[in-house]
Chains A and B, each alone.
Chain A
Amino acid sequence: MRVGFFLGEAIGSMRRNWVMAMAAVITVFVSTAILGAVLVTQGNLEKGATSLKNRVVIEVFIKDEASQKAVKALENKIAAIPEVKEYEYISKEEALERFRKRFDERIVDNLNVNPLPASYEIQVKDANQVDMVARQFFNEPTVDNDPGTHNGVKYARETVRRMLGTIRIVGWGMWVATGVFALAAVLLISTTVRLSIFARRREVEIMRLVGATNWFIRWPFVLEGFITGLLGALLAVGFVYASNWALANWLKSSSIDFLDVDVINLIWQDAVWPLGLLPTLVILGAVLGAIGSLLALRRYLKT
């Protein structure tokens, strides 16, 4: 195979038809950028949701008069629950210290006794399990039954329920949007490639008359589609990366830093994108361009 000749033909034809080539590159760029933006947003939302879920904490308050033994028993009980991810003992002193930091120090300084109970802060593995874990402490004798809290067990029950529901709906919405934009990208790219080949169908006819084999005709077109897709997708990925980077920085410096937007992970591998999201998009663009050319040529290569 004459790689040099075919590559020369492909690049030469892109240079001579640069308006068409640019239009195709821009089409790939726009559609891939939109798709990429949707996917990155989805990834970020998912991450944000996970970090929100991880923040769901159950506070179990301990009666002041509880014995060391009883507290130890409570701890053993917590440790034995398989859904618990981690837990931490907060002593009365620590609780006061936190209060002092969070609120006005003077209030605390005026107190003679420490009114705050000791507690265990429990994080569960899955936010969906919060309710189930919390219920296990409702009737615990060691737990402080202060009215206003659920039997001394405090957790954002309604909030968690609503949050999980919202996350689920947003997640579905994002997948639908991804599907729609992926389809749009495929259609747009293949239409553009088909148009550019339609504009050159006479060329294909002449090549055949001169005795070119079908693959001899195909290779330059396929390479051209590949290069077009590659260029467009590279631009798109650069654009998506840059805007994600800017957004992440802005979020980190703003008050909603709990969303925990991560730039690097989108580039490198994770479970959903074994090759990394952005490299996958580049490959997708290039392959779509090549396959689009191949399919569009089919009708002009029939006898």
Chain B
Amino acid sequence: MIVFEDVTKIYDPNVVGLQDFTCHIGKGEFVFLVGASGSGKSTLIKLVLKELRPDTGRILVAGRNLGTLRHSKVPLLRRNIGCVFQDFKLLPNKTVYDNVGYALEVVGEPRKSIRRKVPEILSLVGLSEKTNSYPHEISGGEQQRVSVARAFVNHPPLLLADEPTGNIDPETAVGIMQLLVRINRTGTTVLVATHDRDMVNRMRRRVLQLDTGRLVRDEHRGGYDQVAASEEEGA
């Protein structure tokens, strides 16, 4: 689903985003991306969305080579990628319903099927009662669930989450993570960048760890810290 080959991205005054990064993420995988702030997690996500261009290296997403992908096709790429962000990125002037519906309007979905699909997905994330609320009227956890609903309403093959639980309390975070797991079970590849140590340790999924732009660990059924994991093995 995602292939990075020797990708390097250096920001202007010599700040390393990603360096010689290579990895393959298969279809249907659930992958955690961990590392300190500034280690390159967000850079990686932006590269997948073609919000940024790499300096060198090749990136393939769903079989498309992003290097040769035409500018005008970028929106098409993004429609195949659901996105969840730490700051939710909801349209402040639209209701919960319209925020989710917008992702369908964008792809030219007929009005009739929008009216069917939006309530469906809202009930899946447990927000049926908040349909006509505006983002500022609901809690952070609820906003993040709207954001997840919007990301998944098109049933994209790939879902990216950048610190999805960064702004919400631990209990609500568990709910969000469960949602992502459910989405993963439908066959959608899920990539989650996170700082949430407990969550990663509890879920035991594939873990990619970054340190100043380099991949320092790629472990299946991994924990948040390499140290913790190897200590476990040693004991």
Is B193 close to A, CB under 8 A? no
Q: Does A17 contact B (CB under 8 A)?
A: yes
> Quick check: is B93 within 8 A (CB to CB) of the other chain?
yes
Contact A212 B75 (CB under 8 A): yes
23 residue pairs A–B, Cβ–Cβ below 8 Å: A2-B105, A12-B93, A13-B93, A203-B91, A203-B93, A205-B89, A206-B89, A206-B90, A207-B91, A208-B78, A209-B83, A210-B79, A210-B103, A211-B75, A211-B79, A211-B80, A211-B103, A211-B106, A212-B102, A213-B72, A213-B75, A213-B106, A216-B75
Question: Nearest-CB distance from B82 to chain A (Å)?
Answer: 9
Within residues 1 to 24 of chain A, which ones have a CB less than 8 A from any CB in chain B? 2, 5, 12-13, 16-17
Q: Which residues of A contact B102 (CB under 8 A)?
A: 207, 210, 212
User: Inside 8 A of A207's CB, which chain B residues have their CB?
Assistant: 91, 102, 106
Whether A211 and B76, one on each chain, are in contact in the complex, defined by CB atoms closer than 8 angstroms, is: yes
Q: Is A303 an interface residue (CB 8 A)?
A: yes
Across-interface contacts of B107 in A (CB, < 8 A): 211
- For window 79-96 of B, CB contacts with A under 8 Å fall at 79-81, 83, 89-93
Q: How far does the Cβ of A106 sit from chain B's closest Cβ, in whole Å?
A: 84
Check if B49 is an interface residue, CB within 8 A of chain A. Answer: yes
**A211 with B78, Cβ < 8 A, contacts A216-B106, A303-B51 known:** yes
Instruction: With both chains docked as a complex, state the minimum distance between the C-beta of B56 and any C-beta of chain A, in angstroms.
Output: 19
Binding site for B on A (CB under 8 A): 2, 5, 12-13, 16-17, 202-203, 205-214, 216, 303
Chain A residues contacting B90 (CB-CB under 8 Å) are 206
| A8 vs B110: C-alpha distance when bound (angstroms) | 15
Interface size on B, residues (CB 8 A): 26
A209 in contact with B78 given A13-B93, A203-B91, A303-B71 (CB within 8 Å): yes
Query: Closest A-chain residue to B87, C-beta based?
Result: A202
Min Cβ gap B36→A in Å is 25
Q: Does B74 contact A (CB under 8 A)?
A: yes
Of the listed residues A5, A12, A206, A208, the one surrounded by the most CB atoms of chain B closer than 10 A to its CB is: A206
> Which residues of the other chain, A, contact B89 by a CB distance below 8 angstroms?
202, 205-206, 209
A212–B93 touching, CB < 8 Å: no
Cα A195 to Cα B58 in complex, Å, equals 39
Q: How long is the Cα–Cα vector from A173 to B232 in the complex, in angstroms?
A: 89
B150 at the interface (CB under 8 A from A): yes
Chain A residue at minimum C-beta to C-beta distance from B154 = A211
Q: Does B206 contact A (CB under 8 A)?
A: no
Q: Are A209 and B71 in contact (CB under 8 A)?
A: no
Residue B145 CB within 8 A of the other chain: no
List the 7 closest pairs (A to B, CB-CB), nearest first: A211-B79, A211-B78, A213-B75, A212-B106, A16-B93, A211-B75, A206-B89
Q: State the CA gap A2–B108 with chains docked (Å).
A: 9
Report if B195 contacts A (CB, 8 A): no
- Is A210 a contact of B93 with CB atoms below 8 Å? no
Residues of chain A within 8 A (CB-CB) of B103 are 210-211
Which residues of chain A come closer than 8 Å to B9, judged between CB atoms? none
CB closest residue in chain A, given B93:
A16
Q: Given A203-B92, A303-B71, A210 and B51 touching (CB < 8 A)?
A: no
Closest residue of B by beta carbon distance from A216: B106
Bound-state Cα–Cα, A13 to B83, Å: 24
CA distance A2 to B110 in the complex (A): 10
**Closest Cβ–Cβ distance, residue A263 to chain B (whole Å):** 43
Q: Which of A206, A211, A216 contacts B91 (CB 8 A)?
A: A206
- B71 CB contacts on chain A under 8 angstroms: 303
Q: Complex formed: what's the CA distance from A213 to B108 in Å?
A: 11
B41 at the interface (CB under 8 A from A): no
Q: Which residue of B lies closest to A214 (CB)?
A: B75
A contact residues around B108 at 8 Å (CB): 2
Bound CA span A214–B49, Å: 16
Q: How far is the CA of A160 from the CA of B107 in the complex (A)?
A: 72
Contacts of A205 in B (CB 8 A): 89
CB distance from A202 to the nearest CB of B (A): 8
Q: In whole angstroms, what is the CA distance A113 to B107 when docked? A: 99
| B103-128 contact mask (Cβ, 8 Å, vs A): 1 or 0 | 10111100000000000000000000
Query: A88 to nearest B CB, angstroms?
Result: 72
- Which A residue's beta carbon lies closest to that of B104? A210
Residues of A contacting B50 in the complex (Cβ-Cβ under 8 angstroms): 303
Nearest neighbor of B103 in chain A, beta-carbon distance: A210
| Assembled-state Cα–Cα distance A203/B90 (Å) | 8
Chain A residue with minimal CB distance to B77?
A211
**Interchain CA distance A13-B79 in the complex, whole Å:** 24
Nearest chain A CB to B131's CB is how many angstroms away?
17
- Which residue on chain A has the smallest CB distance to residue B106? A212
Shortest CB-to-CB span from A181 to chain B, Å, is 34
Q: How far is the CA of A294 from the CA of B103 in the complex (A)?
A: 23
